Amino acid sequence: MRQGVWSKGRALKSVNDEPRPAGSTARPAARDRASASAPTADRSPAPPAPLPPGARPGRPRRSPVRRALDWGPRLAVFAVLAVVVGVLIGPRALTGRDGDERTAPTAGPTGAVSPADPASIGRWRAGTGDYTDAGGLLWKPDAGVAVGGTLASTDAVVDGTGNPGLYQSQRVGALAYRLPVAGPGSYLVLFHLAETSGARAGGRVFDVTVDGRTAASGVDVAARVGPLRADWLAVYASTSTDLVEVRLVARAGSPAVAAVSASLVRSGTGPAATVWADEFDGPAGRPPGAAWTAAVGAGGWGNHELQYYTGRTANAALDGAGGLVLRASRESYTGADGVTAPYTSARLTTENSFSFTYGRIEARARIPDGIGLLPAIWAMGVDLPTAGWPEAGELDVVEAPIRAIGSIAGIVHGPDGTPAGYSYGGRRPPPADVASAFHTYAVDWYPDVIVYSVDSQPYAVVARADLAPGERWVFDKPFYLLFSLAVGGDWPGDPPRGQAFPQDMVIDYVRVTR
C-alpha cells in the first residue's frame, strides 16, 4: 500500500509512494534524439467550426498579473524541495516527413471506466449528531469512530474554505480513528484541520501512523497556515476487512480534528492496475496512435490565443525514441477556412476513444518554459458539448505558463452560476530543469477529493467539502484527456519577438491507474 500524507499547498515531511503495478515503473533514461528534417506545411487541414470544438466559450481570461492576484486566496503558494526523477537529456527533435499529413482519427480503443459507487465515500464530523454542511453533504458524528478525545467548538469564522461551519467543531486529543468502509480495499483518508483554540506554532504537533508505519511526521497546522484557517491532510490506507484505522500520536499538545472522510481508491487487496496507457513507441515522424484526435483551427480557443492548431505531423508526432512531441512553430499559416495565424501548434484529445471516472492520471513530460507559452496536460468532462464550460468541469493535471506566473499549477474548474466558474487547486515552483529534463506530473482523483503532485511530491488538495454554497462538484463522471501547447493570449501573454521557436513539449508516457 502507499502511505502518504498530503497537505493543501504544502508538502509534509514524509511521503511514501504506493508501489506501481507491474510494468508501470518509470521508463529508462531517454536516449539522445537525432536532429530532424524541417517540418513541412500542411496542405489541407480539416475545416474548423466557427468556434473550435472544445474551446471554452465565455471563459473570461485576465492578464497574468490579475490572474495571479485572483488566485491568491485559493491557490497556496509555497516552496518545496522536489525529488527530481527526470534524467537530463540532449535535444529531442520533432521528425517530419515531406508531404506527410495526419488525418485526425475519429475513433479508437474503448476504455471507459464506470464511476465508483457513491456509497464508497464515508464522512464524519466532530460531534454527537448528524451534520449537514453548507454544500448539502451529510456528515455522521465522529463519536462512533474516534478513539478518545473531547469535543470543542468555536463561533469564530474559519478562512480558506467555502464551508467554515465544518471546522467550528473539533475533537481534541483523539488517539485514533476507526472508520467503517465498504470492504477490503485501498482508501484515501482526508483529515480537515484548523487551529481554532489559539495554539501557536509548535504548540500542537502530532504524527499520523497507518499499520504501525509513520505516514505523517510533525503535523503543525498553526505553523503551516496560522490560526483560524482550514488545512487538509490526506493519507492512504488499505484494509482486508471493512475497517480502516489511522492513529494520531501527539508530540506537543493534543491533536485536533474537525472532520475526516474515507474515499475508495480501489476495491480488493491487490496492487493498482493500469486502466489505460500510451507509451508513444513507434518510428520517428509517425502520428500519435488512433486514440488521439487532433483539434484543428484557430479562433483564439476562448483565450485569444495566437496559434492555429493543425493535424500535421509537423506539429505532433512520435520522435522514434519513445516520446510524443507537440511543437509550436512561428510561421504564417492559412487553414482551409481561410484564417491565417502567425503560429502553429497541436492540441490532442481522447474525446472519441477513452474516458474514465476516478483514478491516477500520470504523465512524464518535458515542458517548455518559453515566454508566452501555455503547455498543459488536462482532462474535460465528456458532457462538454451539451453542458458547456464550466458546467462540464475541467481537471488540469498541470498548466505551466511558467514565465507568466513563475509556477506550475494544478487546478480544477467548475460551475458556480457565473461564466467564469470557480477555480481551486495549488501551484508550486517548477523543477529547476523543467525544460531540459523529464518530470512526472500526476493527479489522484477519487470521490470527494483531488490531489496534485510533481515527482511524487504532493502540493495541493481540492476537497468537495470545501466548496462554497452555489459551487457544484462535477467530478463524479467520465472525463477524457487532452494535451495542448498554446501560444499567446490573455494568459500567459504573447511571446516577444526575441522568443526562440520552435518550442516543444515532449511526453514520455501517459497512464491512468486505479
Q: Which residue has the higher pLDDT, 30 or 261?
A: 261
- Note the pLDDT of residue 117: 64
What is the pLDDT confidence band of residue 386, given thresholds at 50, 70 and 90?
Answer: very high
The pLDDT of residue 302 is: 85
Average pLDDT of 206-229?
96
Residue found by looking up cell 481508491 in the block: 265
Measured distance CA(509)–CA(514) in Å, rounded: 17
**188 SS3 class:** strand
Task: Confirm whether 394 is a catalytic residue.
Answer: yes
Q: Which three cell numbers stand for residue 38?
A: 524541417
Residue 139 lies in a domain: yes
Q: Is it the case that residue 14 has pLDDT exceeding 70?
A: no
How many domains is the chain built from?
1
For the CA atoms of the chain, what is the radius of gyration?
23
C-alpha cell at 213: 508505519
Domain annotation covers residue 148: yes
Q: CATH no. for residue 224?
A: 2.60.120.260
Range of the domain at 22: 1-29+111-280+354-488
Q: Quote the cell numbers at residue 190.
A: 482526508
Residue 358's nearest CA partner among 293, 277, 275, 425 is: 275
Task: Decide: helix, strand or coil at residue 373.
Answer: strand
Question: Does residue 342 form part of some domain?
Answer: no
Torsion sign across C-alpha atoms 311, 315, 321, 323:
negative
DSSP run (H or E) holding 347: strand 347-349
Q: How much is the pLDDT for 118?
A: 59
Q: What is the pLDDT of residues 42-89, one digit of tens each?
A: 322 333 333 333 444 333 333 333 333 344 433 333 332 232 223 222
pLDDT of residue 411: 97
Checking if the pLDDT of 23 tops 70, the result is: no
267, part of any domain: yes
In a domain, 296, yes or no: no
Look up residue 440 and give its three cell numbers. Answer: 512526472
Query: 319: which 3 cell numbers?
Result: 520522435
Report yes or no on 17 lying in a domain: yes
Alpha-carbon distance of 414 to 390, in angstroms, equals: 5
Asked whether the predicted pLDDT for residue 24 surpasses 50, the reply is no
Instruction: Give residue 59's pLDDT.
Output: 37
Grid coordinates given for 114:
464506470
Round to whole Å and give the CA distance between 198 and 201.
Answer: 10
- Residue 101 vs residue 307, higher pLDDT: 307
Cα-Cα-Cα-Cα torsion 70, 71, 73, 78, nearest 10 degrees, comes to -140
Of 18, 195, 394, 471, which one is the catalytic site residue? Answer: 394
| Region 483-496 average pLDDT | 95
Tell me how long the chain is: 514
Mean pLDDT of 297-316: 95
Beta bridge partners of 122: 262
Find out whether 126 and 142 touch, Cβ atoms under 8 Å.
yes
Confidence of residue 119 (pLDDT cuts 50, 70, 90): low
Q: Characterise 15 by phi-psi region: left (phi > 0), alpha (psi -120 to 50), beta (else).
A: beta
Tell me if residue 471 is catalytic. no
E-only strand ranges, 350-456: 359-366, 373-381, 394-399, 408-414, 422-428, 439-446, 449-454
Q: Report DSSP state, residue 457.
A: E
236: left (phi over 0), alpha (psi -120 to 50) or beta: beta
What's the confidence (pLDDT) of residue 134?
87
Selecting among 18, 195, 362, 399, the annotated active-site residue is 399
Exposed, middle or buried, 403 (CB in 10 Å: 0-12/13-18/19+)? Answer: middle
pLDDT of residue 213: 95
Q: Is the dihedral of CA 507, 297, 381, 65 positive or negative?
A: positive
> What is the reported pLDDT for 299?
85
- 0.75 surpassed by pTM: yes
The mean per-residue pLDDT over the stretch 248-252 comes to 98
pLDDT tier, 120 (very low <50, low <70, confident <90, very high otherwise): confident
Tell me if 496 is assigned to some domain: no
Q: Kindly state the percentage of the chain with pLDDT values over 70.
A: 77
Residue 72, domain member (yes or no): no
Note whether 60 and 303 are within 8 A (CB). Answer: no
Question: Which residues, other chains included, contact 113 with Cβ-Cβ below 8 Å and sequence gap of 6+?
Answer: 275, 355, 356, 357, 358, 359, 478, 512, 514
**Tell me: the pLDDT tens digits for 340-365?**
999 999 999 999 999 999 999 999 99
Instruction: Give the integer Cα–Cα distance in Å for 130 and 142.
Output: 9
